[in-house]
Each structure stands twice: as C-alpha cells, then as structure tokens.
Amino acid sequence: MMLELVAIAVLGGVGTLIRFHFGGYVHLTINRVFLEQSKFPWGTLAVNVVGSLLLGLLAGWAESGRLDPQAAMVLGAGLCGSLTTLSAVTVDLAECVHDRKWIKLAVRLGANVIPGLAAVWLGLWLAE
C-alpha cells in the first residue's frame, strides 16, 4: 500500500508537469496560428481529452486483463488525475454564469464534455 501511495504521488507530479507544459504549449501554439489571444482554454481542453483517452485505455486494458487493475488504478489516479483538470473547466464555466453568457457556457461545457467522453470511448475501443 505504501508503494502504491508513493507511485501515485510521483505520477501526480509528472501529470501536473505535463499538464502545465503541454497545456501551455497547445494554448500558445493555437494563439500563434490564429494570430490572436484566444480566451478559449485550448490547453485545458487538450489535456482533458488526452487524459480521458489515456484513462479509457487504462480501464479497457484492466478490464481485458492486459493490465493489472491495481496498476490501472495507480496510473489513473496519479497520472490521469493530475493531468486532467476539472477545476480549471469549472472556473471558466463559473465566469460564463457570472457574466450571464449562456451560449458561451453551453459551447464551453459541450466542448469539454463531449470530446472527453469520446476520448474515453476511443480509449476503451483501442484497448480491445
């Protein structure tokens, strides 16, 4: 149990660093391509979709017996849990509610939930 906790903590640090650097890279790259300072959280969307895909793969591999369920849990909680960031999404959505921008709220909610769900399904399918 102690080894698993240490592994989750280490993987959590790795996932956080990936989220920070990869998410920032995606956001800056998209802004550069479109020559604007987009307020849409592209980096957050990217890390959430990648993390969802990875979690779907882990779950599928664990379900099929190709990955130990305990290993899938450690990787999922540590790496995927710190890579994805629901808190950043909810802060963005709360700002939409505060500003009463209902269409923006619906678009951003859909842009985060639908691709994330599709990525999990894709991960489960790929794991088969």
Q: Which pTM value belongs to this model?
A: 0.85
Please check the confidence at residue 39 and state whether its pLDDT lies above 80: no
Residue pair 11/58 in contact (Cβ under 8 Å)? The answer is no
Model confidence over 4-34: pLDDT tens digits?
999 999 999 999 999 999 999 999 998 888 7
**Residue 35, Cβ density class (10 Å: 0-12 exposed, 13-18 middle, ≥19 buried):** exposed
* Domain tally, the chain: 1
* pLDDT value of residue 41: 85
Q: pLDDT tens-digit profile of 41-97?
A: 889 999 999 999 999 999 999 999 999 999 999 999 999 999 998 878 888 899 899
Q: Does 2 have pLDDT greater than 90?
A: yes
pLDDT of residue 60: 95
Across the range 95-104, mean pLDDT stands at 94
CA distances (Å), origin 67, targets 26, 76, 97: 30, 12, 42
Which residue range is the domain that position 90 belongs to?
2-127
Distance of CA 83 to the CA centre of its chain: 6
Residue 36 pLDDT class (50, 70, 90 cuts) = confident
